[in-house]
Amino acid sequence: MEELSGKTQLHPMTREALQNGFVSEMIARSGTTLRVLSDEERRQSLEATLAAQPVPGDVWLFAYGSLIWNPAFHHAERQPVLIRGWHRQFCLATPIGRGTPEHPGLVLGLDRGGSCRGVAFRIARAEAEAELELVWRREMVTGAYVPRWIRLHGPDLPHGMSGIAFTINRAAPNYVRPVSEAATAQTIATACGVLGSCRDYLFDTIHGLKGFEIHDDHLDRIARLVREYRD
């Protein structure tokens, strides 16, 4: 991890960075014990996911965190949707992107139970494999997520439409079981890594959701606690 004037040098998550394999390199250079998936493992995962598409055609991708406000992939349209059986949770420790090995941050995953409002992106089928390869380089670096097809519910979507969602892998070594909102807020208020602070990640996600008139009471409560902690 590079240092500049005693502070971590930030590297934004851009399309170019993903094309250059920045995320895998970032983790490999960090000294963390997390195992990075090989290019072949990621390719097989993507191919298997696309082969399981319930209905042939354009591919929908469900976003619930940073993909909402920084997708870095080409898409034809996006719209707010609801999924059932999964909820948004700060359940993944990040020792690199939004934290350090000494002070890991927390990022979002989809854990079982409840429901979640987010944003569905439609990717033209002809471009799906190339665009999703970038998404896989970003989300499927260590195998902390399990990509699966989940039913999407939205007023402008055909009935029964499904999209790819990255659900949390509870067997992952950096999966974090639920803790109090106060404990979550303390981590978010203080953790920072090469992609920026957990605090910015939280507020950018809330702002991105509000752009689609989506309000998440859980995130709002954590944000209030983060502000109180920082003040």
In this structure, is residue 143 part of a structural domain? yes
Residue of 40, 77, 139, 228 marked active site: 139
Q: Which residue range forms the structural domain that includes residue 216?
A: 10-230
User: Closest Cα partner for 216 from 75, 88, 68, 110?
Assistant: 88
Domain assignment present for 1: no
Is residue 72, in this structure, part of any structural domain at all? yes
d(CA 144, CA 171): 8
Residue 139 among the catalytic residues: yes
Instruction: Check which CATH number belongs to the domain holding 59 and give it.
Output: 3.10.490.10
Residue 3 lies in a domain: no
Report how many domains make up the chain. 1
- Banded model confidence at residue 8, pLDDT cuts 50, 70, 90: low
pLDDT at 10: 72
Say how many CA atoms lie within 13 Å of 217 toward its Cβ: 1
Residue type, 57: G
Residue 99 lies in a domain: yes
> For residue 37, is pLDDT > 70?
yes
Query: Is 127 domain-assigned?
Result: yes
Q: Is residue 48 part of a domain?
A: yes
Asked whether residue 4 is domain-assigned, the answer is: no
Q: Which residues contact 105 (CB under 8 A, 6 or more apart)?
A: 93, 94, 95, 97, 98, 99, 187, 188, 191, 192, 193, 197, 198, 201
| pLDDT, tens only, 152-199 | 999 999 888 999 999 999 999 999 999 999 999 999 999 999 999 999
